[in-house]
Amino acid sequence: MPDPVQLKKTRLPALVICLLFVFGLYFPTAVAESLSLLLLLAYLIYAVLLFLLIFRKRGRLGTPACMVLLSITPLLLLFTFTSGLATYRFGALIVYGLLSLLLVVNVRDIVLPHWFGRVWIAANIINIVIGFAIVAGIQPVDDFIIAGYSTAYDELVSSMLAAHKPVLTFGSHSTAAFFLYLFFWINLQGHKLTGRKWAFNLVQLDGADCPANWK
């Protein structure tokens, strides 16, 4: 009979990966345009989830790699203060700090459970539906994306949607094309390994969304 404690230890990292996957895809990026309580809460949740992965057995890379990656934020501070720039945005340091934590995580020993496959398929379907809705110019979907996922400058997402580019929740066509390609590639490898028809169907649909962002 499996050890309940050991079973819990193996399930927790998989659950954390799932939460990071969903939050990373669908957390409203428009919140990040100003430092708010909701944004700070989101950053705190991300940090806690990453620490849960880091502070487990074999949960991080070797010491030299960790030192290099964790030096990103201090080096940015050093170069910023010596650059001669007169304006600073210290809130960005939180983002780079979370990036450093993400990069030091070792996920090689994490085995995702079977139920994650359903989460993966659901995310693919959501992305494909939103993508085709944007290409078709369905206004309520455009309004939803602008309200929740505007980023960088005010006109960026609205101009992407006006050109019918399926940027999804990623803000710009270049970022969206990169992640859509990742979905396409992972589904293609899944089809090669398992031969399952649904994986091949997702490959075709993801592949149809990608070119719309490359124009």
* Burial annotation 152-189 (CB, 10 A radius, 16+ → b, else e): eeeebbeebbeeebbbbbbbbbeebbebbbebbebbbe
Residues in the chain where the model's pLDDT stays below 70: 1-10, 30-36, 86, 197-215
Q: What is the mean pLDDT of the chain?
A: 81
Residue 139 confidence (pLDDT):
92
User: Which sequence spans correspond to the domains of the chain?
Assistant: 4-104, 115-214
Residue 7 confidence (pLDDT):
45
β-bridge partners, 105: 60
Q: Residue 122 is which amino acid?
A: A
- Calpha distance 209→19 (Å, rounded): 25
- Calpha distance 39→96 (Å, rounded): 15
Q: Residue 88 is which amino acid?
A: Y
Secondary structure (DSSP) of the chain: ---HHHHHHHHHHHHHHHHHHHHHHHS-GGGGGS--HHHHHHHHHHHHHHHHHHTSTT-B--HHHHHHHHTHHHHHHHHHHTTT-S---TTHHHHHHHHHHHHHB--TT----THHHHHHHHHHHHHHHHHHHHHTT-HHHHHHHHHHH--SSHHHHHHHHHTT---TTSSSHHHHHHHHHHHHHHHHHHHHHH--HHHHHHHHHHHHHHHHHH-
Reading the block at residue 185, the tokens are: 């590639």
Residue 5 confidence (pLDDT):
47
